[in-house]
């Protein structure tokens, strides 16, 4: 495997660049608390693992070479992001740390939020054509074709998943320290609408 250090650095840079995953993690952390943010991260990790397995079986190349399949993934992903953005933008609910604490104490109330956060992270990655591009253009540059390609794909996929998850866990921890800002309804409304606009923007960008 060639240039492993360069791969790790590039994977870290890609994870840190603001994108759909960043917006989802921030939105769910601000709205439902750190546990919901962590659930979103687990969903993101699941989505990345899904594509690692797809790459190992060689289907990522097939999908990338099939305009029809690639467009299906692209438009479904765009529609889902736009849906999340509209839901966040037009939501009238505001949240407070006291309400979040009460919800976290009630398992029956909290579970749906964690489950929803997980699926948002997973689906946004599974339906993101950019993830396919990463596996068919970025990763192969660091693979030694004289070795076991599948093992290398799994290894590189695991590194990318761990780096992305680690970065987002640090982001959730940082956001969790800003709880005092969440008590301000004005901040809540502005952030929620900004997050909605960003998600819709990412959805439109995918289509374009």
Q: What is the pTM of this model?
A: 0.73
Cα–Cα dist 10/163, whole Å: 10
Q: Taken in order 91, 94, 100, 102, is the CA torsion positive or negative?
A: negative
CA-based nearest residue to 169, from 44, 73, 52: 44
Q: Which residues have C-beta within 8 Å of that of residue 85, sequence separation ≥ 6?
A: 195, 196, 197, 198, 199, 200, 201, 202, 203
pLDDT the model gives residue 162 = 95
- State phi, psi for 2 to the nearest 5 degrees: -95, 145
For residues 69-75, give the mean pLDDT: 78
CA-based nearest residue to 47, from 84, 10, 21: 21
CA-based nearest residue to 201, from 99, 39, 85: 85
Q: What pLDDT, in 10s, does the model give residues 116-175?
A: 999 999 998 888 877 777 777 778 778 877 788 888 889 999 999 999 999 999 999 888
**Cα 44 from chain centroid?**
4
43 and 121 Cβ atoms separated by less than 8 Å: yes
Q: What pLDDT, in 10s, does the model give residues 9-58?
A: 888 887 887 788 888 998 888 888 889 999 999 999 999 999 999 888 88
Q: Is the pLDDT of residue 98 over 60?
A: no
If one compares 97 and 133, the residue with the highest pLDDT of the two is: 133
DSSP element (H, E) containing 131: helix 129-133
39 and 110 Cβ atoms separated by less than 8 Å: no
């Amino acid at each position: 495997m060639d240039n492993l250090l360069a791969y790790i650095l590039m994977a870290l840079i890609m994870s840190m660049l603001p994108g759909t995953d960043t917006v989802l993690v921030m939105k769910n952390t601000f709205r439902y608390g750190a546990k919901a943010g962590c659930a979103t991260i687990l969903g993101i990790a699941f989505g990345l693992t899904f594509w690692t397995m797809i790459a190992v079986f060689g289907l990522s190349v097939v999908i990338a070479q099939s305009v029809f399949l690639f467009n299906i993934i692209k438009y479904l992903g765009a529609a889902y992001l736009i849906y999340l953005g509209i839901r966040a933008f037009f939501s009238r609910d505001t949240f407070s740390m006291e309400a979040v604490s009460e919800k976290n104490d009630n398992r029956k109330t909290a579970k749906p939020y964690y489950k929803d956060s997980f699926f948002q992270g997973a689906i946004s990655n599974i339906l993101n054509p950019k993830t396919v591009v990463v596996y068919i253009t970025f990763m192969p540059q660091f693979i030694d074709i004289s070795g076991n390609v599948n093992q290398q794909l799994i290894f590189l996929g695991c590194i990318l998943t761990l780096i992305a998850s680690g970065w987002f866990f640090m982001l959730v921890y940082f956001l969790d320290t800003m709880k005092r800002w969440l008590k301000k309804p004005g901040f809540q409304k502005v952030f929620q609408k900004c997050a909605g606009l960003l998600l819709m923007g990412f959805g439109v960008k995918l289509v374009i």
